[in-house]
Amino acid sequence: MDLKNVKTFICVAELGSFTRAAERLGFSQSTVSFQVKQLESELGVRLFERIHHTVNLTEQGREVLRYAHRLDKLTKELDNDLRADKEMVGHIRLAMADSLCDRLERAFHGFWQRYPGISLKIISAGTEEMFRLLNHNEVDLVLTLDNRIYDRSYVILREERVGTHFVAAAGHPLAGKQRLSVQEVVRQPFLLTERGMSYRRLLDEKLAASALEVSPLLETGNVETICRLVEQGDGCSFLPDYATEPAVAAGRLARLAVEDFTVEVWKQLFCHRDKWISPQMQAVIDCCAAI
C-alpha cells in the first residue's frame, strides 16, 4: 500500500474536497483523484460518494479512514524514532481564544531559545470555529476559554477552572459593599471583551436567563486595555481572575461581591483523538500550561 495514497485519502476526507486537498498537498486535482482511485482499486472498495459537487465518505470509507489514521500515526512515530538524535523541528498550529492571546508573551518566553527548530502559528478564533479547524486538521491544538466541553472526538490534554468576577476601580462606590445584587451592577457603565467571545458570551447568556443585559461603552479584545481603563474609574467590567490579579493585589482594582451570580468558565486544551502527539506538539502542550 502506497503511503502517499493513504495520506492523500486522509486529506480529502478531512477537507471534504478534492480541490482543497490538492491545494493543501501541492498536487494537481487529477493527481489527487488518481491516488484515491489507486487506493480504492487496491482495497476493492469505494471510498467516496460524489453527488452534486459534494464529497462524502462511504460506510467502507469511514472504516478505512480509522485504519488510515492509525497507519499515519505509526508512520510518524517511526520517523520520529529514527530522528531521535536530531534537532527537534516542525510547525505547530494552535487555535486559541482571543482573550488568552495577551498571555502568550509570558508563556512562550524562552520557548524558541529552547526549541529554535519549532515554528508556531497562532490562530485567534471563537470556540465553534476552533473545533471546525481541528476537525479539518487545519490546526493541531485548540485552547478554549469557555464552558466545560466533553466530546469523544477530542482528547482533553489539560483543563482547569478559571475564576471570573465583576471588577471596578478600588475607589468605585460599589467596591466597598459587601453584598451586591447583579441588578445593581449591570446599571453601571461597562467595558467588555467582544460579544460572542468565550466568557463574554457566557456572561450574556447568564444575564439573559434573568432578563438582564449589559450595553457596554467599549468592546475590545485587548484585556489589558480594559483593565487599565477600569483602574482609572471609567466603568466596570467582567473579567477572568488571571487578568485582574496583579491590579487587585496592588489595590488598583476590586472584585465586586455580587450575590448568587456565578459564571463557570474552563480553560481546556484539546487535540483530535486521531492526532498523533509528536514531541514538537508535546513541547507546545507543556508551554500552554503557563497560559
Are 203 and 99 in contact by the 8 Å Cβ rule? The answer is no
Tell me how crowded residue 204 is: count the other CB atoms within 10 A of its CB: 18
Please say if the pLDDT value at position 245 is more than 90. yes
Angle of helix 18-25 relative to helix 3-15, nearest 10 degrees, comes to 120
Question: Could you give phi then psi for residue 80, rounded to 5 degrees?
Answer: -65, -40
Q: 142: alpha, beta or left, given left = phi > 0 and alpha = psi -120 to 50?
A: beta
pLDDT digits (tens, 9 = 90+) for 154-212: 999 999 999 999 999 999 999 988 889 999 999 999 999 888 778 889 999 999 999 99
User: Distance between CA atoms of 260 and 182, rounded to whole angstroms?
Assistant: 8
- How far lies 93's CA from each of 29, 140, 147, 271, in Å? 25, 5, 23, 11
pLDDT digits (tens, 9 = 90+) for 117-154: 888 999 988 899 999 999 888 899 999 999 999 999 89
Please say if the pLDDT value at position 258 is more than 60. yes
| pLDDT recorded at residue 26 | 86
Look up residue 209 and give its three cell numbers.
436567563
| pLDDT recorded at residue 265 | 93
Q: Which of 22-26, 44-48, 67-71 shows the lowest mean pLDDT across its residues?
A: 67-71
- Give the pLDDT band of residue 223 (cuts 50, 70, 90): confident
| pLDDT recorded at residue 209 | 92
Q: What's the pTM?
A: 0.71
Longest dimension (CA), the chain: 75
User: Distance between CA atoms of 291 and 287, rounded to whole angstroms?
Assistant: 8
Please say if the pLDDT value at position 224 is more than 80. yes
pLDDT digits (tens, 9 = 90+) for 149-167: 999 989 999 999 999 999 9
| pLDDT recorded at residue 140 | 94
pLDDT digits (tens, 9 = 90+) for 72-116: 777 777 676 655 555 678 899 999 987 787 777 777 777 888 888
Q: Which of 162, 128, 133 is nearest to 145 (CA)?
A: 162
- Give the pLDDT band of residue 58 (cuts 50, 70, 90): confident
The bridge status of strand 141-146 relative to strand 265-272 is antiparallel
Residue 23, amino acid? E
- The angle subtended at Cα 204 by Cα 198 and Cα 208, nearest 5°, is 150
Are 133 and 139 in contact by the 8 Å Cβ rule? The answer is yes
Place of cell 451570580: 261
Q: Per residue in 185-203, is it b (16+ CB within 10 Å) or e — as a string? A: bbebebbbbeeebbbbbbb
